[in-house]
Amino acid sequence: MRTRMRSLSLILPVCVLASCGVDTTPGRLPADAQADYEETPKLSCVAMNGRSYVISLENGPPATDTVVFASDRMEAVGGVGRGFAAAPYTCSEADSVSITAEMASDSSGVLRWSAAILGDEIHGTITTVNAGTAGQAITFAGHAIPGNSATLRTPQRQVERL
């Protein structure tokens, strides 16, 4: 009789919770708390236009820059002064958004960008190419700048030259 009473005392709270609409699945939060932990919406290639990121180089010379995605082009603001105009980028979607771009400068060579973007975080590699030879691969990481109103700083005539 004592064993039977103990098993009923364990079942009763579960029945009460279930009848109140509380999800009793192990590892699940109640529905009202679950909403607080929902994942952020997945970023898409279309949503990249108008976004900008502050990046920091992880190897190589210490530096920060701003990367802007607008008008289906990618621009590194710090590179504009060295002749790197905004360049078209390719984008693909999987678990994260993957971006590749190649920016050319008449005087400074080529920068090949490869980046993965997940939510507000960006990380990737910039490979420098000078006179046809691959140079240093520089890794970077950064985060989105709040607000989606980024515009390119490269004058239109430079963009068209590419």
Q: Which residue has the higher pLDDT, 60 or 92?
A: 92
Query: Based on the domain organization, do 128 and 95 belong to the same domain?
Result: yes
Are 33 and 63 members of one domain? no
24 and 52 both lie in a single domain: no
Residue 109 lies in domain = 46-161
Q: Are residues 31 and 110 in the same domain?
A: no
**pLDDT at 138 > cutoff 80:** yes
For 50, 57, 74, 160, the CA distances from 84, given in Å and listed in that order, are: 19, 17, 11, 13
- Which is more confidently placed, 58 or 13? 58
* 113 and 88 housed in the same domain: yes
Strand 121-130 vs strand 109-118: parallel, antiparallel, or unpaired?
antiparallel
Task: Give the CATH number for residue 51.
Answer: 2.40.128
**Is there a contact between 121 and 106 (Cβ–Cβ < 8 Å)?**
no
28 and 56 assigned to the same domain:
no
In the chain, how many domains are there? 2
43-85, pLDDT tens digit by residue? Answer: 889 888 889 999 999 997 789 999 999 989 999 999 998 899 9
Same domain, 97 and 155: yes
Instruction: Give yes or no for a contact between 53 and 143, defined as CB atoms under 8 angstroms apart.
Output: yes
Same domain, 12 and 90: no
Q: Are residues 60 and 130 in the same domain?
A: yes
* pLDDT beyond 80 at 150: no
Q: What is the mean pLDDT of the chain?
A: 75
**Among 35-44, 52-61, 146-155, the range of highest mean pLDDT:** 52-61
Q: Are residues 32 and 99 in the same domain?
A: no
